[in-house]
Structure 1
Amino acid sequence: METSIVESYFRQVESKWDENEVKDKDALARLVYRSNLLGSDAYINNTGGGNTSSKVMEKDPINGEEAEVLWVKGSGGDLRTAKKPNFASLYQQKLLKLQEIYHDMDNTGLKTPAEDSMTKMYPHCTYNLNPRAPSIDTPLHSFIPFKFVDHTHPVPVIAIATADNGPELMEKIYGDEVAWVDWMRPGFELGLKLQETIKENPDIRGIILGGHGLINWADDDQECYELSLELINKAAAYLEEHELGEEAFGGAKFESLAKDKRREVFGEVLPFLRGQVSQQNQFIGTIQDDETTLQFINSKDAPRLAELGTSCPDHFLRTKIKPLYVEWDPQSGSVDDLKEKIVEGLGEYRDDYADYYNNHKDEDSPDMRDPNPTVILIPGLGMVAWGKNKSESRVTAEFYTAAIGVMRGAESVANYTALPKQEAYDIEYWALEEAKLQRMPPESELSRQVVAVVGAGSGIGKALVTRLIEEGGTVAALDLNEEAAEATAKEVLDEIGMGIGVAGSDISGSGDIIGVGCDITDRSSVKEALKKVVLAYGGVDHVAVTAGLYPTPDQHGNVGDSAWDNSFAVNVKGNYIVADEVSEIWHAQNLKGSMVITTSANAVVPKSGSMAYDTSKSAANHLIRELAITLSPKVRVNGVAPATVVEGSSMFPRDRVIASLTKYGIEFSKEESTEALRDKLAGFYASRTLTQRNITLEQQCEAIYGLISSKFSNTTGHVIPVDGGLKDAFLR
């Protein structure tokens, strides 16, 4: 058994400021640099959260005079990845004048219609027609009377901000250099409160926002950045001094299962779990089972703290009001027991969420959102986070990891407190948040769906991977050559600017595509490959098999018995093994899915010289029909039958191309490049078709994608020819 004991959690952060990087840059570029530094560490600031700003003198494009402009991170931006276009620009003096028309209509300090209406005034303050929408946090930055402002969500500071004696702890840690402002929703009223607090305490250097985070300022940008780190480090040092180690969260109640056992159980339960949480919206998963996470989940206090939920608004907008804690004993419970506990727990969670919505909604509330949890905690196993894609599920896991740190710190020095449910609801269903959701572009065709491409190391499979990623798919690139599969994944991820996802790496770190080795003639290899896909994403929705074997005949057109066996092992039985193994995942998920098998025009065109290949492909055509019956009604099975695709195919090495050119009497020179020879052969094949056009990878990919997509949702058991019009292949 593995036991999770974290002796130390809170750490010091070091300055990464390099003046040489910014000495010749303009003010906006320096703001980008500062923002990226603060956003590069999730311990300092979570993805998409926090804001930074700079007040800069700029030339007014109308009168040419100098005007003070507030550059602030725009709505929906992320400090880690932000570039210049991600920052809004507003006339500072116009923003200040908005205070003259603002009224707290019921004088409660809570959010009012006037508060929300002020966001409609920000566009009137825009400098130089900047299209970037300003954040709702804009007043926080504008109303603080300093040039540079950092607002972050550091784990140690939020721990103090959520402690039931937070103001007392703040005074112990900071003395009189930091002030406290009780919880208020971000916006105009909070900006006014910060302005008032600084006016009353002119010597403070920062403010802790109750339940929320940290805001601090300076008149020098490097000083502002380093002050952020200084204030974070003071909180971290205090919490480190009081760190409880193995006694954190009341000590351990359960032991973790050994890593291999966790992977085994996760591999079995994840597709079932994914199906259960995807009944309204389909999700992609991320597992997290590091020592820190497991110590929390295995602890005595985990059920109580999980039920309280998160506090920082940025956290629970991703993690929902609370996670689902599954009451399962990893030492005595079976996987079947776990599944029963999951069903029971999800039922209770959905009921709780409906009560939460109904008890706090008002007449203007949007409709209730998906009541399923986005974070699930399982003792002995770890955390599973869910999102509409891999990136979102990883961020959700990141946010709850931060929440665990917050609870760890708060509970080590006091009692952790969460936001009142009404305040949490008002954030989650805030009209401004709803408007932000409505502005998001529609999801892509394959969003929320996992596609396994078998044969992704070259040819059609490799080209297909890119097509599926373009349509929002989450892709597992499988190939007999594991290095080729990983190379495909790396090429795609480098192209779209995300890191490499290799199945052998930490499973929580895989990206929107992973490369996996898989021999489809070996059931154990297929089973292990699919397990890696499940651990990376939670399940599988679609499978496209483009792998195939063409045995090269001798000079008389014959192949040996072993070549016959290999042809059927790859082209027929291999497809069956893949379908048979993935069917267990499909059955557990109980979600719609599809399978597309690449056969060949040769399956229906009798000819000499490729008997083993042609008959195996003919068998594959019938396998498609059999599988369509077996896997219905949830899973559709279809095929694509290309004529010979020479482009990029691993089945056309130089020797085979030369042999084919010789066979067909096509003139060539052995000095010509392989690609030139392939072009000649492809041209010959095209000349035999009705359309007289080359058969391309793109055409095959489009056919496979179409069959996977909803466009062919009522098509199953069919083989679609993509052969340029081979009259000999017309079915009769």
Structure 2
Amino acid sequence: MPTNNNNQIPNLWDDTRAASLSEAELLLYRSNLLGSDKRVTNYGGGNTSAKIQQSDPLSGETVTVLWVKGSGGDIGSMALDGFATLYLDKLNTLKTLYRGEEYEDEMVGYLPHCTFNLNNRAASIDTPLHAYVPFTHVDHLHPDAVIAVAASQNSRELTEVIFGQDIGWLPWRRPGFQLGLELEQIARENPHLKGVVLEAHGLFTWANDAKSCYETSLAMINRAQQWLDQKLQNQPAFNGQRHESLSATKRQQIASQLMPIIRGKTSHHQRQIGHFNDAPEVLEFVNSQALISLAELGTSCPDHFLRTKIKPLVLEYNPEQDNLAQVIDSLDAQLQAYNQDYAAYYERCKHPNSPAMRDSNPVIYLVPGVGMLSFAKDKATARIAGEFYLNAINVMRGAAGVSDYMGLPEQQAFNIEYWLLEEAKLQRQPKPKSLAGRVAVVTGGAGGIGQATAARLIREGACVLLLDIDAEGLARTESHFRDTFGADNISSFTMDVTQEQEVAAALQHCCLTFGGVDILVSNAGIASSAPLDETTLELWQRNQDILSTGYFLVTRETFKVMKQQNIAGNIIFVSSKNGLVASANASAYCTAKAAEIQLARSVALEGAPLGIRANVVNPDAVLRGSKIWTGKWREERASAYNMSVDELEEHYRQRSLLKLNVLPEDIAEAIYFFASDASAKSTGNILNVDAGHAPSFTR
């Protein structure tokens, strides 16, 4: 690996901006800068703190308050409300209550009693690690370069070589009260130290002002990186290359084939969402000679394996032979072996009071020539797990290049993974939403009903792929949803439902992005109006192509994926009351809509043995937000009723039995009903959402 100055973390501190900030705001500024670079610390990992002088709200006296990242926060994205605040004198009093290592977990229960100013942000187990260091500002980070040193067999020796007298070293210890006391001791006994390397864990640095602490952290990380770069220069990573990477197109093709199958086989305990990563660092590792041996050792940093499990599953794919069929055939055996190995690990390491064994399926899958797949309960967790394993790859590259890489001993790993305090944190998580772990595909996604449906499904925890032929409208819609719901739960793909290859490509994109599909909302539509004798073959065929053939193509490709997954599914057609009751001057449209309903019934018959349900929602006169009501169709329907276009909405409201307008959100609610378990015993059904239209009553 050649020496690369780009590996150095840049100093982003802005004195002008910093001059206008309070002490608490300086802590946040420093935290956000450090957390903005994943080479400095992984998402949710590490902690930052400052000891700030504030007025006690009761006494009015000036007291020292520890501001420290609260439980579950992320220093890169947090705001001021992400910090726990605690009286430092009360934290110091806790030392008199400490009964020793065997009882250190009970100290967490005392932290709420130290809360300053009724702050409801829970303090993390790392609080003592910051409280007792005798410096105003403390950073605890997980830089890849430093963990590479910390995870080396001779990490203490390497720490001394790289950092000299600037950085101390402490042997592995689980974060907690005892480690806080040991950090205090080494800092007080060695006042020249600027920080400490924690074996197999990470880096602590400190200073008495925010800028110095930030710059010390960067300097130590960059010193480790520069030393590694020099040592690894011209040295093949991971003992050299064993396989060549496939082309990007081929990698995506293979990943999209594997992901629904893996998802189906591992979603019985908890529905999984997938993520694919073929970054150069990932490909370097999965193609290497040392892949099997290093993967088996597992990860070192506790933050890594809490997200990724102690080790990944390496699939037996050979890119030169392209033995994908064999890999798929052997998946059951490989997964069974992994599950048995994990269960044995649990049995070897469990304590009498350990929580019950959790899902024993892998989180990380490594595929030579292809990349890395990760699966978790939601998209963000799956993506972040992949990012954590990428950090682990960087650590292994460095450690194995300068020493022997050491994964954390399995008992220590187990003690972290099944720590009662971690279990308590898991139990406090909110109950999953009704569509958590589900993936939905919505055609016509840039229109009013499509947008309302996507919003309804995302609010219930689903990931959504929006499909539409309108590239500009689709981009605007996706951007809006990203701003509203976050980037992880939404994706889009420009597609014409009448083009077979485009439909297949869209479903491949869905599998690659989310791991599969559980819900199809077939909603793409047009509308046309013409007397029968003026209906051209072109107009007739256009209706059949989009509303009949298009629905068939999207359903067929989705059905294939659902069948591969073998974990059931829901298909919802957005048809029309015109599929049940004909309208004058709309023969092409009515016939195509009737075909949709019959197709749904056919799908319900074939899907039932697989648990795949198919149902129909029939809207009527959804004018607001609908693209088909913005142009000629609106004019044509107004003309058919001999009225102006401005009168049309009121006409439909008065025509309905309930005298109500039908909105896109009303259709979305019906679609959600069929997509959710609330309708688990319904298939082949039709739900009219038309405010009451007697001729459309189903018989």
- Fold match, TM over 0.5? yes
Where in structure 2 are the equivalents of 1:71-86 lying within 5 Å? 71-86=67-82
- Match for residue 120 of structure 1? 109
- Match for residue 27 of structure 1? 23
Deviation at 1:386, TM superposition (A): 1.3
CA distance in 2, matches of 1:575, 1:411: 53
Name the SS for the 1:440 alignment partner.
coil
The alignment's TM-score, normalised by the length of structure 1, stands at 0.93
1:122-158 residue CA offsets vs partner (Å, 9 max, x unmatched) = 0111101100000100001000001000000000000
Where in structure 2 are the equivalents of 1:225-624 lying within 5 Å? 225-243=214-232, 247-496=236-485, 498-499=486-487, 511-553=488-530, 558-624=534-600
Name the SS for the 2:628 alignment partner.
coil
Where in structure 2 are the equivalents of 1:88-167 lying within 5 Å? 88-104=84-100, 111-112=101-102, 114-167=103-156
Q: Would you say 1:168 and 2:168 are equivalent positions?
A: no
CA distance in 1, matches of 2:3, 2:67: 42
Deviation at 1:462, TM superposition (A): 1.8
Where in structure 2 are the equivalents of 1:632-671 lying within 5 Å? 632-633=608-609, 634-667=611-644
CA distance in 1, matches of 2:503, 2:280: 30
**Are the counterparts in 2 of residues 246 and 252 from structure 1 also a CA contact under 8 Å?**
no
Q: Would you say 1:38 and 2:34 are equivalent positions?
A: yes
Per the alignment, do residues 166 and 328 of structure 1 end up closer, same or farther by CA in structure 2, a change over 3 Å counting?
Answer: same
- Match for residue 708 of structure 1? 675
Name the SS for the 2:477 alignment partner.
helix
Alignment partner of 1:68 out of 20, 43, 64 = 64
617-626 vs 364-373, greater mean Cα deviation: 617-626
Name the SS for the 2:140 alignment partner.
strand
**Are the counterparts in 2 of residues 10 and 236 from structure 1 also a CA contact under 8 Å?**
no
**Are the counterparts in 2 of residues 6 and 295 from structure 1 also a CA contact under 8 Å?**
no
Q: Would you say 1:203 and 2:192 are equivalent positions?
A: yes
**Are the counterparts in 1 of residues 139 and 217 from structure 2 also a CA contact under 8 Å?**
yes
Name the SS for the 2:50 alignment partner.
strand
CA distance in 1, matches of 2:378, 2:583: 47
Amino acid at match of 1:685: Y
Q: Would you say 1:681 and 2:670 are equivalent positions?
A: no
CA distance in 1, matches of 2:2, 2:239: 13
Deviation at 1:659, TM superposition (A): 3.6
Amino acid at match of 1:221: A
Amino acid at match of 1:519: D
Amino acid at match of 1:467: R
Name the SS for the 1:366 alignment partner.
coil
Name the SS for the 2:51 alignment partner.
strand
Amino acid at match of 2:408: L
CA distance in 2, matches of 1:731, 1:159: 68
CA distance in 2, matches of 1:560, 1:326: 55
CA distance in 1, matches of 2:698, 2:421: 58
- Match for residue 507 of structure 1? none
Name the SS for the 2:236 alignment partner.
helix
Q: How large is the Cα RMSD of the aligned pairs? A: 1.6
Deviation at 1:16, TM superposition (A): 0.5
CA distance in 2, matches of 1:9, 1:283: 40
CA distance in 2, matches of 1:245, 1:256: 21
590-599 vs 658-667, greater mean Cα deviation: 658-667
Figure out how many residues of one structure are paired with residues of the other and give that number: 698
CA distance in 1, matches of 2:516, 2:188: 55
Deviation at 1:238, TM superposition (A): 0.5
CA distance in 1, matches of 2:517, 2:271: 11
Per the alignment, do residues 458 and 7 of structure 1 end up closer, same or farther by CA in structure 2, a change over 3 Å counting?
Answer: farther
1:147-187 residue CA offsets vs partner (Å, 9 max, x unmatched) = 00000000000000000011111111111111100000001
Alignment partner of 2:203 out of 183, 200, 214 = 214
Deviation at 1:621, TM superposition (A): 1.2
Per the alignment, do residues 9 and 358 of structure 1 end up closer, same or farther by CA in structure 2, a change over 3 Å counting?
Answer: farther
Per the alignment, do residues 536 and 448 of structure 1 end up closer, same or farther by CA in structure 2, a change over 3 Å counting?
Answer: same
1:643-686 residue CA offsets vs partner (Å, 9 max, x unmatched) = 12111111112443334334323357xxxxxxxx3xx3121111
Deviation at 1:557, TM superposition (A): 7.6
CA distance in 1, matches of 2:402, 2:696: 77
**Are the counterparts in 2 of residues 8 and 245 from structure 1 also a CA contact under 8 Å?**
no
CA distance in 1, matches of 2:354, 2:612: 38
CA distance in 2, matches of 1:467, 1:624: 22
Deviation at 1:257, TM superposition (A): 1.4
CA distance in 2, matches of 1:351, 1:176: 47
1:423-465 residue CA offsets vs partner (Å, 9 max, x unmatched) = 1001000010000001111111111111000110112112211
CA distance in 2, matches of 1:655, 1:629: 37
**Are the counterparts in 1 of residues 317 and 324 from structure 2 also a CA contact under 8 Å?**
no
**Are the counterparts in 2 of residues 146 and 217 from structure 1 also a CA contact under 8 Å?**
yes
Name the SS for the 2:411 alignment partner.
helix
1:224-283 residue CA offsets vs partner (Å, 9 max, x unmatched) = 001000000110010000115561111111121122221222222221122122232121
Deviation at 1:607, TM superposition (A): 3.1
Deviation at 1:8, TM superposition (A): 5.8
The alignment's TM-score, normalised by the length of structure 2, stands at 0.97
**Are the counterparts in 1 of residues 444 and 523 from structure 2 also a CA contact under 8 Å?**
yes
**Are the counterparts in 1 of residues 529 and 637 from structure 2 also a CA contact under 8 Å?**
no
Q: Would you say 1:187 and 2:164 are equivalent positions?
A: no
**Are the counterparts in 1 of residues 624 and 664 from structure 2 also a CA contact under 8 Å?**
yes
- Match for residue 718 of structure 1? 685
Which consecutive unaligned segments of at least 5 residues does structure 1 have?
105-110, 500-510, 669-676
**Are the counterparts in 1 of residues 3 and 229 from structure 2 also a CA contact under 8 Å?**
no
CA distance in 2, matches of 1:365, 1:486: 48
Name the SS for the 2:31 alignment partner.
helix
CA distance in 2, matches of 1:100, 1:612: 84
**Are the counterparts in 1 of residues 471 and 494 from structure 2 also a CA contact under 8 Å?**
yes
Amino acid at match of 2:641: Y
Amino acid at match of 1:90: L
**Are the counterparts in 2 of residues 73 and 88 from structure 1 also a CA contact under 8 Å?**
yes
CA distance in 1, matches of 2:472, 2:508: 19
Deviation at 1:6, TM superposition (A): 8.4
- Sequence identity of aligned pairs in percent? 40
CA distance in 2, matches of 1:665, 1:254: 71
Which consecutive unaligned segments of at least 5 residues does structure 2 have?
none
Amino acid at match of 1:684: H
Deviation at 1:340, TM superposition (A): 2.6
**Are the counterparts in 2 of residues 270 and 538 from structure 1 also a CA contact under 8 Å?**
yes
